[in-house]
Structure 1
Amino acid sequence: MILARDQLMILPVLLPAMTAAFLVLALRHHLRRQRIVSIAATGLLVVLAAILFAQAADGTIRAYRLGDWPAPFGITLVLDRLSATMLLLTAVLALGVVLYAAGGVDGRGRHFHPLLQFQLMGINGAFLTGDVFNLFVFFEVMLIASYGLMLHGGGPVRLKAGFQYVAINLLASTVFLVAVGLIYAVTGTLSMADLAVKVPQVAAADAALLKTGALLLFLVFATKAALVPLHWWLPATYAGTSAPAAAMFMIMTKVGAYAIVRVYGLVFGADAGPLALAAAPFVLPAALATLVVGTVGLLGSRTLRDLSAFAVIASMGTLLIALGLFDAAGFAAGFYYLVHSTLAGGALFLVAGLVQEGRGAASDRLVPAPQMGAETLIGGLFFLAAIALVGLPPLSGFLGKVMILQAAQASSWWPFIWALILAASLVMTFGFARAGSVLFWASGPTTGERPPPPAAGLAAVVLLLALTVGWTLAAGPAMEALEATARQALDRAAYVGAVLGPDVRLAGGN
């Protein structure tokens, strides 16, 4: 059967789901074959995501109704510029992760590749769904798979961090269900397009209850995005798991940021009547605090993995400063920085894995140790990842921060935003410089033979860093596309028309 053009968007969910099932049922005892199938399926996912990205580039929002049930009664998947961008970014990151894992990390426990594919199914579904309840369902698929990936390989440190991770996400899932129940009780729908129509029309007597549901939902998304004070689970989780799992988790925090953009830009946006910009007063202050906490934690880190985890928190603070502006300029700058931070952060975690393996008993602790194999090469990769994440020129981190600073000029918060972003960049420079000097410049003579790092691991890091450099070189056309993406993300009428039909009329204009 040949899929129609709009039906292709179901494949980013089906492909990893079927791959995961095949790996478990047919290849559970054949790791080498699992690697081949997983790499091939992930490469195919990259191609598929690129095709969908090219489709979305014409500006048309496409809706696919499963079972041909009309919205808002059936399950609807929606492909626009933003969701297509996130699909392609996820697939590229996953390809780097699966290449790194094939170097030997996947053999330290069971079912790494099936778990990774199931996680891809949940992540892709979250980016494509047009329904808040199905967003919850895909969140749960993504999180259940991440529990297994987080614990892959075992060990007491990983088990402790895993318990905290599971506990906080179970609590967040409970809050998610309560929020969904409140929203449905008031509006009678959970379709995002239908909510965009009905939220501005909610009676004044029901507005307080609906706002409660909206703010509870924001708490869930803020937890996923590691916003202060809901960030405390992230350092132990990301630093406690394996390098490829931590690199893959880079996209999970972005799912939280994406959900904030999608729900609070579309459903509770500027034209939502009494519920307009319901979460906006909280995003910017929390994002600024997140940037501060991440920067301070980075400066005090004692291992490279801890440093990488706090760098993620700092980067999420920077990202959500841009998204918290809730305008087209802020969204466009934020989307550029989102792609950059995902690629550079994933590369840093993979470098941390190479350092951990290469330094023997010293692991990735920031203490002097004998030289590791291929230290100069790994040091060079660390240097590139560091200057990208800190935001030093000429890489995309610098360009992204400049764009965010420019976008923030229209906000009354701009003095705080400028001061904290610039100060945080300076402090992060010191933190990374300290780590690099200890790991690579203070090395002693080698006490024995140091094996070279696995070629697959190096290839994965080079891939992600090369894409970071490419993202820098393509900044001009990328920003043109992302500005169109930002305008489309704020266009309620276009989204509602694509899902519910062109005859549906909106209250409050666009």
Structure 2
Amino acid sequence: MNHLLILPLILPLLGGLLMLLPPLTHSRVRQRNFALSLAAAMVLVSILLVLQAQDGIIDVYALGNWAPPFGIVLVADRLSTLMVLLTSVLAFCSLLYTFGPSEEEGSFFQPLMQFQLLGINGAFLTGDLFNLFVFFEVLLISSYGLLMFGGGKRRTRAGLHYVILNLAGSAVFLFALGILYGTLGTLNIADMALKMKMIDSTELPLVRAGGMMLLIVFGLKAAMLPLQFWLPAAYSAAAPAVAALFAVMTKVGIYAILRVFTVIFGAEAGSLAGMAGPWLWPLALLTLLIGAIGILAAKDLRRLVAHLIIVSVGTLLAGIGLEREAATSAALYYLIHTTLVSAGLFLLADLIGRQRGKAGDRLIAARPMHQGKRLGILFFIAAVAVIGMPPLSGFVGKVMLMKSALAVREMQWFWPVLLGSSLLALIALSRAGSNLFWNINGEKPVATAVNPAQLTAAVLLLSTPVLMSLFGGPLTELTDATARQLHDVPVQISGVLQANTGEGI
């Protein structure tokens, strides 16, 4: 058994626990150094997992040596390892940002970040729906604390809405699991896909109801319309490092939709095949529209970035709703791009806000920035990438998505909405840049220099659109292979259920 597969869970779990004990708990500097070292180790482990997954073999880790579908299993295929690598890179940059001025941190901040990573990595690697629920709860409980770190009326209000909605979502998730387990007799994803072929016709309505409840839950996590209204307030109120890490939170919901409705309710599901498509397609387009309108209405940079995430969610869900390999590959490429760029924009918004004095990141006139040229270049790169202008990766991802819409009906709806949202993003970001960098009120800049560690974190994230364009060939080959493996449902089933698990722990 490949014990490397358990490290994305063991490292943040043990790391978070050690930070709660002396001597780490008494020193924030030690906590930061330890957390960044864990993040660097996680990046290396994730790279090794991605490289191992490229042979096409699905790696299964059976905890307690209970063979699937009876025990708890972790599954590493191309998709799950790619998502873990994305999370690890994002975590490294987010934790690096905490090395700068951070008045809001407490002794439990870094441990909560580790437990958040535990939940996210577990959600990507788990092979059954019940443990997906468990890891959802781990990441949600951690996010409750991280969201309200630093206090304040704004964060408390946003946190309260966030908690109530997700508690309701967790209840619906449990009901869905009960229905599906009662009808299929299993919650292992591969085994559920196998059992879908043998459902009695009298149980089809129950299975359909359970599947639709899962779509509601995952739609809430992904911020799909009409369940997206919690995101702008929550993400714009969070601390910058937390908001950057939260950029991958909506992708957990998108990953769950992609995994469940491609494997369990995919092409091999008989009369329930493609049951999510008729709902995903219109809701994705409406999510795109509402996000674009929110961009125009935003009065500060953080809220604008939060609405950009909603736009990206709609774009990704539209790609998934097309239900074909080419669209999935394009969506995965765009997912990597939008996650890293959105996180970088959250960090950049904080850097800009610190140099504008009392005006913060609000789109109003303010004093000039001490390092405005440097931050302006980063903002320009990020804006070009988000809008989808050539030659950066946002343009490549959107072109790939538009090419995957083959039917005339798909083109006539998807192309205008996607291009229209890009036009609105261009208008909103042009207005934001003009207000932030050219609408000057006064002559003396705020005497606040950009912290080198924080600037490095933002640069690392905002350089990814350039790198993704330069290495677009190998990256698209990776996403093509990932989509091909995911859509090959018989391979997904046999890869898990017939795996040689060896000895577990």
Give yes or no for the alignment of 1:359 onto 2:325.
no
> Equivalent of 1:436, from 413, 433, 437?
433
State the AA in 1 paired with 2:356: R
Identify the match of residue 129 of structure 2 among 111, 122, 132: 132
The equivalent of 2:222 in structure 1 is 225
Whether 2:289 is the aligned partner of 1:280: answer no
Name the structure 2 match of 1:418.
415
Number of equivalenced pairs = 499
Match of 1:495 among 492, 496, 503: 492
SS of the residue 1:105 aligns to: coil
Per-residue deviation, 1:414: 1.7
The offset of 1:162, in angstroms, is 0.5
The match for 1:100 is: 97
Query: Normalization by structure 2: what TM-score?
Result: 0.97
Give the structure 1 partner of residue 7 of structure 2: 11
1:271 to 244, 268, 273: 268
Q: Does 1:290 align with 2:307?
A: no
Q: Secondary structure in 1 aligned to 2:71?
A: coil
Q: Is 1:208 matched up with 2:205? A: yes
Deviations along 1:329-375, whole A, 9 cap, x unmatched? 11000000000000110111111111222212111110010012211
| TM-score (structure 1 length as normaliser) | 0.96
Would you say the 8 A contact 2:367–2:446 is kept in 1? no
Name the counterpart of 1:22.
18
One-letter amino acid matched to 1:145: S
Residue 485 of structure 1 corresponds to which residue in structure 2?
Answer: 482
Q: Which of 33, 38, 41 is the equivalent residue of 1:41?
A: 38
Deviations 1:413-465 (A, max 9, x none): 22110011111111110000000000001123344652101111100011111
- Contact 2:247/2:343 (8 A) holds in 1: yes
SS in 2 for 1:270: coil
- Once superposed, what is the RMSD of the aligned Cα atoms? 1.3
Corresponding residue of 2:376: 379
Paired AA for residue 339 in structure 1: I
The alignment partner of 1:412 has SS state of helix
Is 1:247 the counterpart of 2:247? The answer is no
SS of residue paired to 2:228: coil
Report the residue type matching 2:387 in the other structure: V
Offset from partner CA, 1:466-502 (integer Å, 9 cap, x none): 2221111111111111111001011111121121117
Q: Distance in 2 between matches of 1:237 and 1:411?
A: 38
Correspondence list, 1:138-217, <5 A:
138-217=135-214
User: Identity percentage over the alignment?
Assistant: 46
Task: Measure, in 1, the Cα distance between the counterparts of 2:323 and 2:77.
Answer: 18
Aligned amino acid, residue 462 of structure 2: L
- After superposition, the C-alpha distances for 1:152-199 in whole angstroms (9 at most, x for unaligned) are 111110111000111111010010000000000101100001101001
CA contact (8 A) 2:370 2:445 kept: no
Unmatched runs of 5 consecutive residues or more in structure 1: 504-510
Contact 1:367/1:438 (8 A) holds in 2: yes
Distance 1:446 1:148, change over 3 A: farther
**Unpaired stretches in structure 2, ≥5 consecutive residues:** 501-505
- Give the conservation status (yes or no) of the 8 Å contact 2:368–2:446: no
Is 1:117 aligned with 2:114?
yes
| Contact 1:110–1:152 (Cα < 8 Å) also in 2 | no
* 2:343 is the counterpart of 1:346: yes
Q: CA deviation at 1:411?
A: 6.5
1:82–1:485 contact (8 Å) kept in structure 2: yes
> Residues of 1 paired with 2:407 and 2:131: CA distance?
36
8 Å CA contact 2:355, 2:446 repeated in 1: no
